[in-house]
Amino acid sequence: MALDQIEPLKQAALAELTAAEDLKALEQAKVNYLGAHGKFTALLKSLGALPKEDRPAAGKLINQVKTELEAALSSRREELELKAAMPKEATDFTLPGRRRALGKLHPLTQVTEDIVRVFRKIGFVVADGPEIEDEWHCFDALNTPADHPARDTQDTFYVDAAGEETSRQLLRTHTSSVQIRVMERQPPPIRIIAPGRVYRRDNADATHNPTFQQIEGLYVGKGVTVGDLKGTVEFVFKQLLGDEVTIRFRPHYFSYTEPSFEIDFSSPLVRKMGKDWLEIAGCGMVHPQVFENVGYDPEVWTGWAFGFGIERVAMIRYGINDIRLFYENDVRFLEQF
Ligand code: DAH
């Protein structure tokens, strides 16, 4: 063996390694040079034939070349492995990316948030109460007598039928129960709204659903008048549905307010729906008995309250004619908002 054989062999090996087109060809190249019967191995074996004084230098050189070849081998292997892992078909990196479908807030949540935003502007805070209520907070404290039709099992979902003499549990039929809960736990003055879900034993049709949502409002202070109530309601609806909105109060009866009114609402949108007025809320001046029931002095405190349906507002705002659409969770409906 001659030392000058080493360099050409190394060049040939490197050329073959880098030319390998796939992992199989690379393995073959490795066997050809570094395998048990490879050319390099053979060269190594022939070291013994060298004159003694040349052996150390030759051994050093061969080892150096071997390290070099192994490095070239493993770097080519990495390249080829990467190539093997790539998709077989060409990738068009100019294609638009895949978008994730983004969720949105439910239209009723959007409307609720808008209503809350308007009330916050005039100093109201959000209050909350349980959906599973008792008869006291839902009816008795609101001055609703035991024989009132709203309390009938036909209209109210009672959770436990037993123990009729105590305050039974029920699914609240309105958010007015939150008025009582708030007044029981804090002294006046009060300025709250309470959005939330309510339940009634109604059969679902275009305008009824066994569950729907209301917003309750309660304002308690000194010298509060119907004028404050009307001004507030008008401000809120104009903010929500536009300046062309007009409202009117019609005398009505609620056990927890005196006097009581229903609020009708008119706007170009309402007229487009073929109506002059739409009933939208109930309201009135808090009944003195309600103040008594929560321990407020009715000689000192006055206040107003209202409650309206959130679906109603959403239906007017978006021109929706069937309340059940809000509860079907059909994305074709929901994604429009
Ligand atoms: N609770 C009534 C309902 O569900 C709405 C209502 C009327 C709320 C008058 C009030 C009120 O706070 O004062 O139909």
Would the pLDDT of 163 be above 70?
Answer: no
pLDDT at res. 5: 81
Residue 154 lies in a domain: yes
| Residue 1 in this model has a pLDDT that exceeds 60 | no
d(CA 15, CA 84): 21
308 Cβ below 6 A of ligand 1: no
Contact criterion met (CB below 8 Å) for 278 and 264: yes
- Asked whether the beta carbons of 292 and 278 are under 8 A apart, the reply is no
Q: 71 with 201, same domain?
A: no
Based on the fold, state whether residues 230 and 115 are members of the same structural domain: yes
Q: Which range is least confidently modeled, 30-34, 84-88, 184-188? A: 84-88
Q: Tell whether 114 and 74 lie within a shared domain.
A: no
Q: What angle, rounded to 10 degrees, do the helices at 23-34 and 6-19 form? A: 170
User: Is there a domain that residue 94 lies in?
Assistant: no
Residue nearest to atom 12 of ligand 1 (CA): 306
> Do 39 and 138 fall into the same domain?
no
Pair 69, 172 in one domain: no
Q: Which atom of ligand 1 is nearest to the CA of 218?
A: 12
Do the domain assignments include residue 91?
Answer: no
**pLDDT at 3 > cutoff 80:** no
**First-residue to last-residue Cα distance in the chain:** 85
State the average pLDDT over residues 251-275. Answer: 92
Any ligand 1 atom below 6 A from CB of 254 = yes
C-alpha span between 29 and 148 (Å, rounded): 96
Task: List C-alpha distances in Å: 185 to 141, 170, 205.
Answer: 14, 21, 38
Residue 177 is assigned to a structural domain of this protein? yes
The pTM of the full predicted model, rounded to 2 decimals, is 0.72
174 and 311 housed in the same domain: yes
Do β-strands 169-171 and 246-254 pair in parallel, antiparallel, or remain unpaired? unpaired
Residue-averaged pLDDT of the chain: 91
User: Is residue 135 one of the residues assigned to a domain?
Assistant: yes
- Written as six digits, the tokens of 167 are 């305050």
How far, in Å, CA of 291 to CA of 62, rounded?
Answer: 103
Strands laid side by side in the 190-199 sheet: 125-126, 190-199, 211-221, 302-309, 278-286, 257-266, 246-254
Indicate the number of domains in the chain: 2
Residue 30 lies in a domain: yes
Closest ligand 1 atom to the C-alpha of 284?
13
Q: What is the per-residue pLDDT across 268-323, written as a single tens digit (0 to 9) for each?
A: 888 887 889 989 999 999 999 999 999 999 999 999 999 999 999 999 889 899 99
Domain that holds residue 251: 107-334
Residue that terminates a domain, selected from 85, 117, 150 = 85
- Strand partners for 303: 220
Residue 162 above 70 pLDDT? Answer: no
Residues 128 and 79 in one domain: no
Task: Point out the domain boundary residue: 85, 117, 149.
Answer: 85
- Residue 102: inside a domain: no
Please work out whether the CB of residue 176 comes within 6 Å of at least one atom of ligand 1.
yes
Is ligand 1 within 6 A of the CB of residue 107?
no
Same domain, yes or no: 126 and 183: yes
Same structural domain, 52 and 111: no
Residues 113 and 174 in one domain: yes
> What would the DSSP string read from start to end of 59-115?
HHHHHHHHHHHHHHHHHHHHHHHHHHHS-SSPP-TTSPPPPPPPP---HHHHHHHHH
Find the 284 Cα to ligand 1 centroid distance in Å: 8
Ligand 1 and 216: CB distance under 6 A: yes
Structure tokens at 306: 């209202």
Q: What is residue 324's predicted lDDT score, i.e. its pLDDT? A: 96
Domain for residue 95, yes or no? no
Pocket residue to mutate for ligand 1, from 197, 212, 254, most atoms within 8 A of Cβ: 254
Task: Point out the ligand 1 atom lying closest to the alpha carbon of residue 286.
Answer: 13
Q: Taking 60 as the threshold, does the pLDDT of residue 11 lie above it?
A: yes
**Percentage of residues in the chain with pLDDT exceeding 90?**
60
Whether 257 and 211 share a structural domain? yes
Last residue of a domain, one of 53, 85, 117: 85
Instruction: Grade residue 203 by pLDDT with cuts at 50, 70 and 90.
Output: very high
Tracing tokens 């068009």 back to the chain, one arrives at 92
Residue 281 maps to which CATH number? 3.30.930.10
Q: Which has the higher per-residue pLDDT, 333 or 39?
A: 333
Within 10 angstroms of residue 211's Cβ, the number of other Cβ atoms is 15
* Cα angle: 201, vertex 207, 212; to 5 degrees: 55
Return the pLDDT at 86: 84
Query: Are 65 and 149 in the same domain?
Result: no
Res. 39 pLDDT band, cuts 50 70 90 = confident
